[in-house]
Amino acid sequence: MHPQFIHACIFDLDGVLVNTAHYHFLSWKQITLGWNVPFTEHDNELLKGLSREDSLSRLLQITGKQLNAAEREHILQEKNKLFQQYLEQMTPDDVLPGVHDFLIFLKNNNIHLAVASSSKNARIVLQKTELTKWFEVIIDGTQIKKAKPDPEVFLKAAHELGIAPLHTVVFEDAKAGVEAARTGGFYCVGVGDPTMLSQAHQVIPDFTSISFDDWWQSLSDSSTQVVH
């Protein structure tokens, strides 16, 4: 993909723009304490990019815990309640380093911006962190029927922007999100650990470790690459 063909960037929220992954971990950790089963940060990595419902299903696989339908619904509500309590503590300080500078860079290059998140709390997070103003389109878990790795959330964001996937870059920190982006026909930049994001076209550690101008030019190389 050559930079001149990029018209839009779509961002996942948790772990890409803001530091909410730890709040998800603490919420699920509190749930699993009641089950007397271990739940680690590594386990939490396996839930990244999944909806709350799919996260619970994966968590039950990890722990071997069995729940009936009523118990599942109760746990989902409890997890959301715990997570929203953490969200109330969020401030603009929870925006990840380098994000504001990168958004300014993209705006200066006339790039349209959107957020596409499986989280039903995405708008609350954006409001708390004062990021809402940056994005023309926000798609969250309340607006989609299929969570990642289905590409629906990204396709919906691109449709509302009026820009084809071919001309859009997606930023993701989760394996399920990378799969969703690639399935939808998007160029995908993984943000984080390259061993976890090997299917992305390109991987960056974060938004502070790269020169934005160099990154912009690196997009002309379509091979999978890790940018430092």
Task: Just list the catalytic residues.
Answer: 12, 14
Tell me the C-alpha distance between 205 and 71, whole Å: 39
Count CB neighbours of 152 within 10 A. 19
Could you tell me if 183 and 157 are in contact, meaning their C-beta atoms sit under 8 angstroms apart? no
First-to-last alpha carbon distance for the chain, in angstroms, is 19
Tell me the C-alpha distance between 140 and 120, whole Å: 6
Nearest to 192 by CA among 202, 182, 183: 202
Tell me the C-alpha distance between 140 and 162, whole Å: 18
> SS in 3 state form for 159-207?
HHHCCCHHHEEEEECCHHHHHHHHHCCCEEEEECCCCCCCCCCEEECCC
Tell me the C-alpha distance between 145 and 152, whole Å: 8
